[in-house]
Amino acid sequence: MMFRLGLTGSIGMGKTTTAQMFVDEGCALWDADAAVHRLYAKGGAAVAPIRKIFPDAIQDDAISRDALRRIVGADPDALQKIEAVVHPLVAADRAEFVETADAEIIVFDIPLLFETGGDAQMDAVACVSIPPEIQEQRVLARGTMTRADFEKIRAKQMSNAEKCARSDFVIMTDTVEHARAQVQDVVRQIRERIRDA
């Protein structure tokens, strides 16, 4: 039996670190953001179809995220067109990963899991969480965005409270040790479920 665990959480909540902890416990990991990077890179499956509809988005035979952002900002229909190309390719990447994964628990790291309805394909969902003031400190400490940028992203995402309420497991990432102990507990519970199935 293969168990599908969705891993989600808002920006700055510690999802990437937590995902690695699941790998450390012997789980296979599929990362949605990494899949998109592969599709956008030189030779990636999204490059040719995006070139057909938005040739300006291509730089050095790869898709430029900055160029896409500008296109989406200027054309209200652009995002829908891009998603129509990218979403099926991401789904194919995920299906291929599942076919070859050699673990009883597969963790699907998907930031917008609930927003895209991906939770319906999971056996359970784990959400990473921290208080909003720590979230803001972490994001701003990266030095890659302003408070206004952060607020804009947070406004687009489902609230942390709702994500936690809809999840089977909530992992507090206040300290690395605490997060790791919770990940180990989640994996233990899932393995028990697999054994009892």
Task: List the CATH number of the domain containing 56.
Answer: 3.40.50.300
Predicted confidence (pLDDT) per residue in 89-123, tens digit: 999 999 999 999 999 999 999 988 998 899 999 99
Rounded to two decimals, what is the model's pTM? Answer: 0.89
Shared domain for 79 and 146, answered yes or no, is no
Average pLDDT over residues 72-88: 91
- Is residue 156's pLDDT more than 80? no
Tokens of 71: 């296109």
**pLDDT band with cut points at 50, 70 and 90 for residue 44:** very high
Shared domain for 113 and 166, answered yes or no, is yes
Shared domain for 114 and 161, answered yes or no, is yes
- Beta carbons within 8 Å of 10's beta carbon, 6+ residues apart: 111, 135, 154, 157, 158, 160, 163
Question: Of 79, 102, 125, which closes a domain?
Answer: 102
Domain that holds residue 71: 31-102
Shared domain for 88 and 146, answered yes or no, is no
- Is residue 175's pLDDT more than 90? yes
Shared domain for 180 and 114, answered yes or no, is yes
Report the domain count for the chain: 2
* Number of other CB atoms surrounding residue 19 within 10 Å: 22
Shared domain for 113 and 181, answered yes or no, is yes
- Is residue 48's pLDDT more than 80? yes
- Is residue 155's pLDDT more than 90? no
Longest dimension (CA), the chain: 54
**Predicted local distance difference test score (pLDDT) of residue 116:** 87
Domain-embedded: residue 196: no
